[in-house]
Structure formats: C-alpha cells, structure tokens
Amino acid sequence: MSVDAATVRRIAHLARIAVADDEVEHLQGELNAILAWVEQLQAVDVTGVEPMTSVTPMKMKMRQDEVNDGGKPADIVKNAPLSDDNFFLVPKVVE
C-alpha cells in the first residue's frame, strides 16, 4: 500500500499538523518508504492469533470512585499560553 499526495494532505489534517504544499512530495516519499518497509508484515500468517493488548498479564487495579485530588485551578492553568480567571482561552468556536 502506498499513499498519494491527497492522502498525505488528509493524514496531515487528521493529525492536525499544517503541511505546506512544497512539503507534500517529500513527506509522501518518506511515508511510502516506511510503509513499503513494514509491508513485510502482510506476509505473516496471523490466523487465530490474538492481538496483544496487555504487556504483562495483570488484573486492572480498582479504586474507590471518589475525588482524591483537585481544588487547584491556578496550578492547572499555570502553563497555559492564554488563560483568564482560571479558564483556558481558545479561539471563538461558537458564532
């Protein structure tokens, strides 16, 4: 499988990364080189093999469903590029 220029633009948009027009061709080449290299996995017989979803066999830890942290809005917004009155500021999304 390989990607065309339109697919590169679509992936970039899905990944929310702006890609300039003059970068598309180069990126397409790089992505296709990687995809060609991982293509060898298609030859493996994986019939009846379960996908690995847990690295170490372990039971999910459970805890009481209760608030155990919080009450520190100033800490939360401390690193925000833009904030006001402990709210994050974003460009207008609702007209």
Partner 1 sequence: MSELTALTLAEARDGLKKKSFSAAELTAAHLAAIEQARALNAYVLETPEQAADMAKASDARLAKGEGGPLEGLPIAIKDMFCTQDVRSTACSHILGEFTPPYESTVSGNLWRDGAVMLGKTNCDEFAMGSSNETSYFGPVISPWRRRGSNTPLTPGGSSGGAATAVAANLCLAATGTDTGGSIRQPAAFTGTVGIKPTYGRCSRWGIIAFASSLDQAGPFARTVRDAAILLRSMAGPDAKDTTCVDMPVPDYEVAVGKSVKGLRIGIPKEYRVDGMPAEIDELWQKGQEWLKAAGAELVEVSLPHTKLALPAYYIVAPAEASSNLARYDGVRYGLRVEGRDITGMYEATRAAGFGKEVRRRVMIGTYVLSAGYYDAYYLRAQKVRTLIKRDFEQAFASGIHAMLTPATPSAAFGLGEKGGDPVEMYLNDVFTVTVNMAGLPGISVPAGLDAQGLPLGLQLIGRPFDEETLFSLGEVIEQAAGRFTPDRWW
- In angstroms, the CA 57 to CA 59 distance is 7
Taking CB under 8 A as the criterion, the residue among 1, 22, 67, 84 binding partner 1 is 1
Taking CB under 8 A as the criterion, the residue among 58, 64, 66, 85 binding partner 1 is 58
Q: Which is nearer to partner 1, 5 or 88 (CB)?
A: 88
**21-38 helix and 5-14 helix, angle to the nearest 10 degrees:** 90
Taking CB under 8 A as the criterion, the residue among 64, 71, 84, 93 binding partner 1 is 93
At CA 21, angle to CA 16 and CA 24, rounded to 5?
Answer: 75
Taking CB under 8 A as the criterion, the residue among 21, 22, 46, 71 binding partner 1 is 46
Please give the backbone phi and psi of residue 5, each rounded to the nearest 5 degrees, phi first. Answer: -60, -40
- In angstroms, the CA 78 to CA 70 distance is 14
- Residues near partner 1 (CB under 8 A) are 1, 3, 7-8, 11-19, 27, 30-31, 33-35, 37-38, 40-42, 44, 46, 49-53, 55-56, 58, 60-61, 63, 72, 75, 77-82, 88, 90-93
